[in-house]
Amino acid sequence: MRNRMLFAFVAGTCLLSGPALAQTLRIALSSEPTAIDPHYHDLTPNNALAAHIFEGLTKQDEKQKLLPGLATSWENDGQNKWTFKLRPNVTFSDGKPFVAEDVIFTFCRTLKNETAIAGSFADITGNFAAVEAPDPQTLVITTKAPDPLLPNFLSSVGILSSSIVPHDKLTFDPAKNCGVTGNWPVVGDFNDGKLAIGTGPYKFKSYVRGTGIEIERNEKYWGPAEPWTSVRFIPVPNPGPRLAGLLAGDYDVVENPAARDLGRIKDDKRFSYVVTPSTRVIYFQLDVGREQSPFVKADNGKNPLQDPRVRKAMSLAIDRDAIVKRIMDGAAEPAYQFLPTGMFGTLPNPPALRYDPAEAKKLLSEAGYSKGFQVTLATTNDRYINDSQIAQAVAQYLTQVGIRADVDAMTRAIYFPRRSKKEFSVALGGWGSTSGEASSFLKQWPATPDEAKTIGGSNYGDYSDAEFDKLIRAAITTLDDAKRSELLQKAGARVLESNAFIPLHFESSVWAYKSNLAYTGRADQFTMAMSVKPKQ
Amino acid sequence: MIAYVLQRLIQSILVLLAVSIVVFLAVYGIGDPIELLVPPQVSAAERAAMIRRLGLDLPVVQQYLMFLGNALKGDLGRSFVHGVPAVELILARLPATFELVLLAMSVAAAVGVPLGLLAGLNPESRSSRAIMAGTVLGFSLPSFWKGMMLVLLFSVALGWLPTAGRGETVSVLGIQTSLLTLDGLKHLILPALNLAIPNMALMIRLVAAGTSEAMSQDYVKYARAKGVRRKRIVGRHVLRNILVPVVTVAGMEFGSLVAFSTITETVFAWPGMGKLLIDSIYQLDRPVVVAYVLLATFLFVAVNFLVDILYAALDPRVKLIGEMA
């Protein structure tokens, strides 16, 4: 009966739709991009959408390895000068040719972007002392400070067509408006698609906030043509309805179905799913800088988190494998460092972070806390996958070795402002590396903050280690890859040893899709139509 | 009548003002939106510039006064998250919610009033008992669960209706509506049904209780004694009398569905206003939350006003006069 009904349904759909509709791909998203403007907000959903319509000079593959994009090659003079050779014979979706002027215009725009949410690429282009185009296919960027990761960051800056605003000769001179004579475009100007002109494999068709985004194949694309004539992204924030939509045939691909629901499609031949480890690491950040910490109470009146033996004991008390298996339903990998092994600047063989409650108890009594102490773990309950359950589990593990731990879970709207005011003692955190290499975490979290907060901006636990600071500061300005990798490895090992940050696991992303498709999951958690192909 | 309208108008303005203060302070009190908006790796200078641009560096009283000044000029501020005017965001969602609620309330009334009458006229009959038992279910099933069950039955198992989202729309007088396309209607059925069920139950209960009470009233007995036909007694006398509370409740329900049908909109990924409100609260998008609540308050005030006028039409004893009762 069920099969007959399914047959009737499928036959009916085919009769109604014909072959043209079969080439429309429908993807259900868990969070909707907030704008079409590629420079509005540096967020995963926004960047993923932008990558369909716009391209950067470089791009990252599904493992975040750097590939040529609109630049075919680039080189660095060992100092601050970078020369990019631009891809010839590329046109924008409106037919205008792509040249170096468009890149200069785009870089200027990120600095003249009045409506952007702070940090949306202006921190990258703000470091440019000069950008010149000796010829239309060559671009020379001179940075103020050495920036070894420039090519990585440029993969996220989508290149706009300079034809979208009136201009004279374009020069990289933001003080003089770069030669633009009209108004700089603002975020609202992109939403109706008039300015959404890029070189990407797809072009903009329509955007109705909350309802969906439609893009169609860019027939002028320089690379191999995409298999889908059009793609529709539908925001369905709730995981239950999202998966139901896949089961009912409304969507071809759904992003982030709940891992616990995967059993529903595991044995169903009509669907497949893929679990891809991401670079997002989940960890606890300990308040190690203060003599008194707000949520720790010990008999001796001190802050036990300042004792390295206590921190080591806390790490030993946690059974990471059990958390991955029971709470994450297998959709995670235990983390023994802050970026998955194998990525740039990571330790090649980090020692496994063992589960050893006996050793933990021993260390605690050595430190003078044989009777334990009291601590509250702070966590979000709506930001990371199963965040509050993870904190609950860790609290129980800590209690088993004598540390009386409870959990304070709250919505992110309350959690993040409180954390930035350093109101917690042990705080759950999550960090994905957009650059795909180790400095991203190390310079943001454990580094001692500098004046401008370009490093150490999230060091809420006031971890401060002069030796580590020396290593990370050297690493982020070292242009030589081998040397930089070595510095990052040393820096990472030092933070791990201190246990001021206790890594738990790397979140995996899950995509479920119809089994007549082939899907390649991405480590950066982008959901892209380019990852979907018809199955051969 | 004019005095009445004027008095209501002044009341409304005071209500709006009070609501704006409360909501503004409440959202301000929850936390700092900057921590949610700006990624942590941003430099201190960039962050400070952003805070200045959004006016978050000013004392809260000054922020409120600025908001009020702009609001009087018709500008309720720009969304922190989307960078476009808050009112534009809300109004873009209004048609989707309105058509959903309109359909839901029509279904609720069309089914609820006759069934309620039926149950109220013959309270002892078996069908009446079944109806009343059904209303208990209609009330007590949680909206979220009910929505998922509707989806599982009609979309996943039977494949008749789409699971979620808004279907094809057409533009009528500049307003996007999905009431006029087949695809749009198909998308509307399940969420509208989900919203309609509890309201249907509510109306059945109200009408049934009112009817059985009215049937024992002297005027009904008198009409009966006079030999008026039962149909006319029910249609002309009973129904008219019991409709006053029904209209009151329906009006209030309409308002609250338009403003806060969040759960149904979430389950069915319906791009309505309720979903916008929840998203905005989670993101501390204060301009949208404040503008939203102000518009919702305005809506309630307007609906209540309409309900009062309907009273007067339904019940000749009610007079619209300007004195405080």
pLDDT of residue A402: 92
Residues of B in contact with A452 (CB under 8 A): 43-45
Average pLDDT over residues A382-394: 91
Q: Would the CB atoms of B46 and A187 count as touching at under 8 Å?
A: no
Q: Would the CB atoms of B42 and A118 count as touching at under 8 Å?
A: yes
Angle, nearest 10°, between helix axes A239-247 and B143-150? 10
Residue B84 and residue B139: Cα distance in Å, rounded?
39
Using pLDDT thresholds of 50, 70 and 90, give the confidence band for residue A527. Answer: very high
Residue with the bigger pLDDT between A459 and B9: it is A459
pLDDT cut 90: percent of chain A above it: 64
Residues of B in contact with A244 (CB under 8 A): 148, 151-152, 155-156, 163-164
pLDDT of residue B250: 84
Q: Would the CB atoms of B84 and A414 count as touching at under 8 Å?
A: no
Residues of B in contact with A236 (CB under 8 A): 164-165, 269
Taking the CA of residue A262 as centre, how many other CA atoms within 13 Å lie in the half-sphere pointing to its CB?
A: 19
Say whether residue A255 is in contact with chain B using an 8 A CB cutoff: no
Residue of A416, A460, A476 best to disrupt the B interface, most CBs of B under 10 A: A416
Say whether residue A10 is in contact with chain B using an 8 A CB cutoff: no
Residue in chain A closest to B37 (alpha carbons) equals A117
Q: Is A413 exposed, middle or buried (0-12, 13-18, 19+ CB in 10 A)?
A: buried
A18-32, A157-171, B71-85, B281-295: range with highest mean pLDDT: A157-171
Instruction: Give me the torsion for CA of B89, B93, B98, B101, rounded to 10°.
Output: -120
Residues in a beta bridge with A203: A216
Q: Would the CB atoms of B155 and A416 count as touching at under 8 Å?
A: no
Residue of A152, A153, A189, A211 best to disrupt the B interface, most CBs of B under 10 A: A211
Report pLDDT digits (tens) over A417-457: 889 889 999 999 999 888 889 999 999 999 998 877 678 88
Report the run of H or E that residue A254 belongs to, with start and end: strand A253-255
Residue closest to A410 by CA, chosen among A427, A393, A431, A425:
A427
Report pLDDT digits (tens) over A333-375: 999 999 999 899 999 999 999 999 999 999 999 999 988 999 9
pLDDT of residue B320: 64
Whether residue A288 contacts residue A461, with contact meaning beta carbons closer than 8 Å, is answered with: yes
Residue B224 and residue B230: Cα distance in Å, rounded?
8
pLDDT cut 70: percent of chain A above it: 95
Using pLDDT thresholds of 50, 70 and 90, give the confidence band for residue B303. Answer: confident
Residues of A in contact with B43 (CB under 8 A): 119, 123, 452-454, 457
Say whether residue A234 is in contact with chain B using an 8 A CB cutoff: yes
Q: Would you give the distance in Å from CA A152 to the centre of its chain?
A: 13
pLDDT of residue A420: 87
Residues of B in contact with A240 (CB under 8 A): 148, 267
Is it the case that residue B5 has pLDDT exceeding 80?
A: no
Q: Which of A92-101, A111-120, A255-264, B291-300 has the lowest mean pLDDT?
A: A111-120
Report pLDDT digits (tens) over B188-228: 889 999 988 988 998 898 888 888 888 888 888 888 888 88
Residue with the bigger pLDDT between A119 and A444: it is A444
Is it the case that residue A21 has pLDDT exceeding 60?
A: no
Residue A131, C-beta contacts closer than 8 angstroms, at least 6 positions apart = A103, A104, A107, A139, A140, A141, A142, A172
Residue A170, C-beta contacts closer than 8 angstroms, at least 6 positions apart = A101, A104, A105, A108, A162, A178, A179, A180
In this complex, the residue of A234, A414, A458 whose CB is nearest that of residue B30 is: A414
Taking CB atoms and an 8 Å cut-off, how many pairs form between chains A and B? Answer: 159
Write the CA distances from A248 to A31, A38, A48, A244, A298, integer angstroms: 21, 33, 26, 6, 56
In this complex, the residue of B44, B152, B162 whose CB is nearest that of residue A250 is: B162
Residue A332 and residue A506: Cα distance in Å, rounded?
5
Residues of A in contact with B34 (CB under 8 A): 417
Is it the case that residue B1 has pLDDT exceeding 70?
A: no
pLDDT of residue A13: 42
pLDDT of residue A405: 94
Residues of A in contact with B99 (CB under 8 A): none
Residue in chain B closest to A247 (alpha carbons) equals B156
Q: Would the CB atoms of A234 and B165 count as touching at under 8 Å?
A: yes
Tell me which amino acid residue A283 is: Y
Q: Would the CB atoms of A382 and B96 count as touching at under 8 Å?
A: no
Residue B187 and residue B164: Cα distance in Å, rounded?
7
Residue closest to A368 by CA, chosen among A313, A317, A407, A294:
A313
Residue B122 and residue B109: Cα distance in Å, rounded?
20
Residue in chain B closest to A443 (alpha carbons) equals B41
Tell me which amino acid residue A350 is: P
Say whether residue A24 is in contact with chain B using an 8 A CB cutoff: no
What's the mean per-residue pLDDT of chain B? Answer: 83
Is it the case that residue A511 has pLDDT exceeding 70?
A: yes
Is it the case that residue A515 has pLDDT exceeding 50?
A: yes
pLDDT of residue A490: 95
Residue A406, C-beta contacts closer than 8 angstroms, at least 6 positions apart = A376, A377, A395
Q: Would the CB atoms of A117 and B155 count as touching at under 8 Å?
A: no
Residues in a beta bridge with A281: A431, A506
Say whether residue A211 is in contact with chain B using an 8 A CB cutoff: yes
Q: Would the CB atoms of A117 and B37 count as touching at under 8 Å?
A: yes
The total of other beta-carbon atoms located within 10 Å of residue B309's CB is 15
pLDDT cut 90: percent of chain B above it: 2
The total of other beta-carbon atoms located within 10 Å of residue A332's CB is 26
Query: If you write DSSP's letter for every residue of A415-459 in order, what string do you get?
Result: HHHHHHTT--SEEEEEE--SSSBTHHHHHHTTSPP-TT-SSSTT-
Whether residue A204 contacts residue A217, with contact meaning beta carbons closer than 8 Å, is answered with: no
Q: Which of A199-208, B153-162, B298-307 has the lowest mean pLDDT?
A: B298-307
Q: Would the CB atoms of A240 and B30 count as touching at under 8 Å?
A: no
Tell me which amino acid residue B58 is: L
Residue of B37, B46, B279 best to disrupt the A interface, most CBs of A under 10 A: B46
Average pLDDT over residues A262-273: 88
Residue corresponding to tokens 């329509």? A206
State the pairing for strand pair A128-135/A138-143.
antiparallel
Q: Is B88 exposed, middle or buried (0-12, 13-18, 19+ CB in 10 A)?
A: middle
Report pLDDT digits (tens) over A268-310: 899 999 999 999 999 999 999 999 999 999 988 889 999 999 9
pLDDT of residue B321: 61
Average pLDDT over residues A234-249: 88
Q: Would the CB atoms of A245 and B166 count as touching at under 8 Å?
A: no
Residue of B89, B145, B156 best to disrupt the A interface, most CBs of A under 10 A: B156
Residue in chain B closest to A248 (alpha carbons) equals B156
Is it the case that residue A7 has pLDDT exceeding 70?
A: no
Taking the CA of residue B295 as centre, how many other CA atoms within 13 Å lie in the half-sphere pointing to its CB?
A: 23
Give the angle subtended at the CA of A526 by the CAs of A47 and A263, to the nearest 5°. Answer: 150
Q: Would the CB atoms of B151 and A123 count as touching at under 8 Å?
A: no
Average pLDDT over residues A118-140: 87
Is it the case that residue A1 has pLDDT exceeding 50?
A: no
- What SS3 string covers A306-335? HCHHHHHHHHHCCCHHHHHHHHCCCCEEEC
Residues of A in contact with B28 (CB under 8 A): none
Residue B286 and residue B20: Cα distance in Å, rounded?
11
- What SS3 string covers chain B? CHHHHHHHHHHHHHHHHHHHHHHHHHHHHHCCHHHHHCCCCCCHHHHHHHHHHCCCCCCHHHHHHHHHHHHHCCCCCECCCCCCEHHHHHHHHHHHHHHHHHHHHHHHHHHHHHHHHHHHHCCCCHHHHHHHHHHHHHHHCCHHHHHHHHHHHHHHHCCCCCCCCCCCCEEECCEEECCCCHHHHHHHHHHHHHHHHHHHHHHHHHHHHHHHHHHCCHHHHHHHHHCCCHHHHHHHHHHHHHHHHHHHHHHHHHHHHHHHCHHHHHHCCCCCHHHHHHHHHHCCCHHHHHHHHHHHHHHHHHHHHHHHHHHHHHCCCCCCCCCCC
Residue A80 and residue A57: Cα distance in Å, rounded?
18
What's the mean per-residue pLDDT of chain A? Answer: 89
In this complex, the residue of A5, A248, A458 whose CB is nearest that of residue B40 is: A458
* DSSP code, position A260: G
In this complex, the residue of A117, A187, A240 whose CB is nearest that of residue B148 is: A240
Report pLDDT digits (tens) over B248-288: 888 888 877 877 788 888 888 888 888 888 888 888 888 89
Residue in chain B closest to A211 (alpha carbons) equals B271
Is it the case that residue A135 has pLDDT exceeding 80?
A: yes
Q: What does pTM read for this prediction? A: 0.83
The minimum CA-CA distance between B49 and chain A, rounded to whole Å, is: 8
